[in-house]
Chain A
Amino acid sequence: MREHEAARDWIRSDETAKQMLSRVLGDRAFLLLPPLHRVPLRAGNVVEITGSSPTAKTQILIQAAIACILPKTWNGVHYGGLEKLVLFLDLDCRFDVMRLSDMLKHRLLEANRIGNGAWWQLEESSGVKNCRGAQDKSKSKSKIVYDEELYVSCMKRFLYLRCYDSLELLSSLKTLHYRIRLQEACGSQVGVLMIDSIGAFHWTDRLSSSLALDKNNRKSLSLTNVVETIVQEMKKLMRVHSLVVIATKATIYEEKYPTNENNRKLSSNNDKAQQPPFREFMPSSWQAFVTHKIFIRKSGDHHQSSGQQSLSAYSLEWLQPQLSSIDRFIVDDSGVVIVS
């Protein structure tokens, strides 16, 4: 009898397909992070955003970070965020926390304005938007208030680290697992790992590879070895924690291809082989690791209707998966705004 029981237990299913789907979708849900909303991202995806300098790549990262750190709802107002931690590895060392803070405040005010339904008015004093105000409803001009506690809790979900060379980067990646575990013990989950400018140490690593001693049995600190180790450590992290990796990459060679969009469309129709619009310099281990690719370039000026000065517009193109539509966006005070 016991053998029958054991056999029956072995055949009996662990869960139905419906249960499995709901579990997987819950654990590794699709993320729609604007302005990268054309392709839904799942945990385990690695997105690479390439563009020359300056093309608002860091602005896109900050916008995606805000979408991640906001909660879904708070005090009845819907924010639509993921309420997860963002780990920002700054290899470019140019991050400005004021920009993050301003964009977050804009988002909170925007959501409050829409959520409350009433028509609130932002008080502008000499060009500086004054967001705080007393909740004195007896005044004729009401001032907008955003929740300070919410702002603080969101800012605390943004974790930042800067590395000045590849050795610091490697040591941070090796110890990252333990630090994430410490954070998760406090109840918060990691959603996105952002790397600003993955090619930042490319030249210095290339120099180390040409200077490396060729001893047998010893792995030198060459460019390929360093990038391989980075990819290995990130793969290990992604196996244990469900996170999306978004990395920006600044092109280090000048664009040899025509920058005009019309020219590019014509040439791509003629060529059978899909040539990337920039010269790839990352080693193959990184290229194989990346699952999604985006390319951003400048695309002329955008003239605003309100008569203010024209802002430079950029075009965002998905290279992998290849989408036919190209988004054009501008960057203003509130962040990245898609124009067409």
Chain B
Amino acid sequence: MAPLKHLEMENPIIDACFRDFCSSHGILTVEDFLIHDLYELAAFAERQVDADRLKEGITVMLSLVEVKCRPWLNGMELLEDLQRNKQTLSSGDNGTDSLLQGGLREGQVTELVGPSSSGKTQFCMQAAASVAEKQEGSVFYIDTGNSFSARRIAQFICGSSAAAVLRKRVLSRISCHTVYDIYTMFDTLQGLEVALRSQMNVNECRLRLLVVDSISSLITPILGGSGSQGRALMVALGYLLKKLAHEHNIAVLVLLKFRGIGCVILLQSSFFLISPSVLKVTNYTVGAGENGKTKPALGETWKSIPHVRLMLSRDNRNNSCTISILKHTSMLSGQTVTRKDNQQCL
């Protein structure tokens, strides 16, 4: 909240008497200026001795606000920006790529939901390996649960003929950051934003993928209660991710664990037999949803944050893994693709 006197150097009209007039109406910073009615202010200025100068000051303030605003883009300019800057990154798995019509899109936040040990972290690491190797972009991997494994990523870098030098180069493009609470997360992301903005044209190895594994462990500790702090921080984090994705042409992949129906499952013996993995309650926040349905771990507000929501579910009988689309900006939801488990990349 910069006070008005900082503007005086470049705009001499915002002098002391203009600032006095403004503070008599309770306007001390530019943000205060935004929530006041300007016509009313101009009418008050009319009554003052130096009315013209004051009104000119108001006009200059308004033009400063306008300079800071983003320009309105028309449909053709949006399309051009999309086609030129925002490419589709392969996620490393052919099935997912065909489901998502190309893969992860730069400029979008993709969310991956799934119960514990359904392969979400494996998916992330495979995507990171694919982006680092095939698209030659760098990856910013934020790890909140110590599940990052460089060895596993090295396994995903395909080809037994991959030379050690190539492997080393690809792995050097992935940077891993451990973050255990939301304030460090804000710190890290804002530092990243500053670094990206000040970066000169380094076209090779520009940041293409940002992975957050997992975002629910950062947010669930602060949610809860009727206060708005937790949800406000969650929304602020979501918007920071969306801003990073759009302004710097990055694909953002976030992992989410969802709440299960722990107590209800134990009563239904049929479920007990078929999916024993559901009983692992260590990573869940157990809570009964309405009518026994699962509830998303971060609540209703988080549903408006990601562009694309994918659900990963595992069938232990067939050793297969199904990815389905819960929400997509330009595709029908409900489409699924199933793949067999594989130790190596496909």
Q: Which residues of A contact B (CB under 8 A)?
A: 52-54, 58, 87, 92-102, 152, 154-162, 164-165, 167-168, 170-172, 174-175, 178-179, 197, 200-201, 203-204, 206-207, 210, 217-219, 221, 225-226, 229, 232, 236, 250-254, 309-312, 331-332
Contacts and interface: CB of A to CB of B under 8 A. Distances in A.
Interface in B14-40: 25-26, 28, 31-32, 34-39
A236 to B, nearest CB: 8
Those 10 A-B pairs whose CB atoms lie nearest each other, nearest first: A155-B75, A207-B232, A96-B329, A53-B303, A158-B75, A97-B78, A99-B330, A218-B26, A206-B228, A203-B232
Contact of B332 (A159, A201, A226, A311): A311
B242 A54 contact: no
A312 B31 contact: no
A263 to B, nearest CB: 12
B59 to A, nearest CB: 11
Interface stretch (B66-74, B141-149, B273-281): B66-74
B333 interface: yes
Contact of A152 (B26, B73, B76, B307): B76
8 contacts: A53-B300, A96-B307, A99-B329, A156-B74, A203-B301, A206-B228, A226-B35, A252-B300
* Most interface-central of B74, B300, B304 (chain A CB within 10 A): B304
A161 B72 contact: yes
B35 A170 contact: yes
Interface in B51-93: 62, 65-66, 68-70, 72-76, 78-79, 82
B300 A251 contact: yes
A161 B70 CA distance: 7
B74 A157 contact: yes
A276 B140 CA distance: 45
B74 A167 contact: no
A302 to B, nearest CB: 11
Contact of B32 (A96, A100, A219, A253): A219
* Most interface-central of A52, A95, A207 (chain B CB within 10 A): A207
A125 B37 CA distance: 57
Contact of A168 (B69, B73, B335): B69
Contacts of B326: 54
A160 B74 contact: yes
Interface residues of B, number: 54
B224 interface: no
Given A98-B82, A160-B75, A203-B228, A254 B300 contact: yes
B42 to A, nearest CB: 13
Nearest to B82: A97
B76 A174 contact: no
Given A92-B304, A159-B74, A161-B72, A204 B35 contact: no
Contact of A217 (B26, B65, B290): B26
B34 A252 contact: no
Given A54-B333, A168-B69, A155 B79 contact: yes
A96 B39 CA distance: 37
Contacts of B227: 210
A311 B327 CA distance: 13
Contacts of B78: 97, 160
Contacts of A236: 39
B311 to A, nearest CB: 13
Contacts of B307: 94, 96
Contact of A219 (B26, B73, B303): B26
Nearest to A333: B332
B299 interface: yes
B34 A174 contact: yes
A204 B38 contact: no
Nearest to A331: B332
A101 B79 contact: yes
B297 to A, nearest CB: 13
Contacts of A152: 76
A188 B239 CA distance: 33
Nearest to A252: B301
B69 A175 contact: yes
B1 to A, nearest CB: 9
Interface string B299-330: 11101100100000000000000000011011
A221 B75 contact: no
Nearest to A96: B329
B263 interface: no
Nearest to A201: B235
A206 B62 contact: no
B304 A160 contact: no
A229 B246 contact: no
Interface in B239-272: 239, 242-243, 246
Given A161-B72, A171-B69, A174-B62, A218 B303 contact: no
Nearest to A94: B307
A95 B75 CA distance: 11
A156 B334 contact: no
B73 A161 contact: yes
Contact of A204 (B236, B299, B327, B329): B236
Contacts of B233: 207
B231 A174 contact: no
B62 to A, nearest CB: 7
A221 B35 contact: yes
B333 A155 contact: no
A172 B34 CA distance: 10
Contacts of B69: 168, 171-172, 175
B229 interface: yes
Contacts of B73: 159-161
Contacts of A167: 31, 34
B75 A207 contact: no
A225 B231 CA distance: 20
B216 to A, nearest CB: 17
